[in-house]
Amino acid sequence: MGRYVIRRTLFAIPTLIVISLIIFAILDLAPGDPAANLPLTIPAEVREAIRESLGLNDPFLLQWLKWMRLMFINEPLHTIESIFNVCIGDCEARDRILSWSSRAPALDIIWQRMPQTLWVLGGAFIIGALIAIPVGIVSAYRQYSWFDNLGTFFSTIGFSVPTFFTGILAIIIFSVALGWFPSFYDTTLVVNSWDTFVLQVKQMIMPVVVLSLFNAAALARFTRASMLDNLNEDYVRTARSKGVGETKVVMVHVLRNSLIPVVTLLALQIPGIFGGAIITEQIFRINGIGQLLIAAIGQSDVPMVQTLTFIFAVLIVLFNLIADVTYGVLDPRIRYD
């Protein structure tokens, strides 16, 4: 198992390098000038000096290598230094990736925004799975029952209605009409008492539920289809004829085998889930990394956009890796290919 995990991890590194190259290539191929948003009153030679100082005149491969050095050498060193409060080499003069609009290190801003995104995303993922897998199991076990028909109908609706529409509907119903939940997310809230905890739960409910419904719909369908494939297999009949209890047959034998394709499909959906998170943050005004990305794009803040897109890629590859490892746990054959 250890070797399998190491192999998958090593495979993720070239993927990330190529993705960062693609991000740079797109930004470089684009005919737009990142310095075009500077005021027109700036004289031409000053503008040229600004371009020079930002490194915009360098060839694109050099720009990419410089960014790689900052991202993979300087930033980790800085993180180590700030954790252990030590100084390695010339820590005072070390360059970091700076956002053009705020002149602050891009990763510092990203770390401030990350918890909000991960809370909503993680909550949505867990709640989605908790709803979807039981629904999928029951739907498959009682195929064509009223529960199955209802579940299939609602899951098709669930992944047909885009998150931005369910989100807005939720705001209209629960914030505007009923006034139960706040329509935006207050990140300044510090949870230090029961009342603030209740407030925190209240403001998280809508974004988490909206995002999890979308995930749950697809997941429930996959689980159902996969369970149906496995329920008629010979090994299920064998287990029953040996006298294994029905609950154990379904929950252990069938479910474990059925989850294998579900995990694969889930891994394929991960980029979509992150896309949904960006939209959800925009609807509920959560200041996570998705909203940061939209703001950075609006300000043509190139280093911020590069770094954020790369962070999204890292998160996606990381979740894919988790899915791969889960896959290996569920199916021992995978580990030895």
Partner 1 sequence: MATTQERVESQVLAPAGERTEKYRSLRSDVWRQFKRHKGAVAGLILMALIVLAVVVGPLVWPPDPYAIDTTVANQGPSADHPFGTDNLGRDLLARSLIGGRISLSVGFAAMLVGLILGTAVGVIAGFFRRLDGPLMRVTDLFLALPILPLLLVVVMLFREPLKQSFGEELGIFLLVVVIIGATSWMTTARVVRGDVLSIKEKEFVLAAQSIGTRKRNVIMRHIIPNTMSPVMVSAALGVAGAIITESALSFLGLGFPASFPTWGRLVFDGRNYLHLNPAWILAPGALISLTVMSVNFIGDGIRDALDPKLRSR
Which of 1/172 has CB closer to partner 1? 172
Among 154, 184, 275, 326, binds partner 1 (CB under 8 A): 275
Q: Which of 212, 210, 216, 214 is nearest to 181 (CA)?
A: 210
Residue 334 contacts partner 1 per CB under 8 A: no
Which of 23/216 has CB closer to partner 1? 23
Residue 30 contacts partner 1 per CB under 8 A: yes
The CA-based dihedral angle spanning residues 3, 9, 11, 12, taken in that order and rounded to the nearest 10 degrees: 170
3-state secondary structure 37-103: HCCCCCCHHHHHHHHHHHCCCCCHHHHHHHHHHHHHHHHHHHHHHHHHCCCCCCCCCCCCCECCCCC
Residue 150 contacts partner 1 per CB under 8 A: no
Per-residue tokens: 233: 């297999």
Among 227, 266, 316, 325, binds partner 1 (CB under 8 A): 316
Which of 78/328 has CB closer to partner 1? 328
Q: Which of 116, 97, 25, 120 is nearest to 296 (CA)?
A: 97
Residue 278 contacts partner 1 per CB under 8 A: yes
CA distance 134 to 139: 8
Among 72, 111, 153, 235, binds partner 1 (CB under 8 A): 153
229-237 CB contacts, 8 Å cutoff, 24+ apart: 229/258, 230/254, 230/257, 230/258, 231/140, 231/141, 233/257
Residues 162-181 binding partner 1 (CB under 8 A) are 162, 164-165, 168-169, 171-172, 176
Shortest Å distance, C-beta 195 to partner 1: 27
**Contact set with partner 1 (CB under 8 A):** 15, 18-19, 22-23, 26-27, 30-32, 153, 156-157, 159-162, 164-165, 168-169, 171-172, 176, 183, 268, 271-272, 274-275, 278-279, 282-283, 293-294, 297, 300, 305, 308-309, 312-313, 315-317, 320
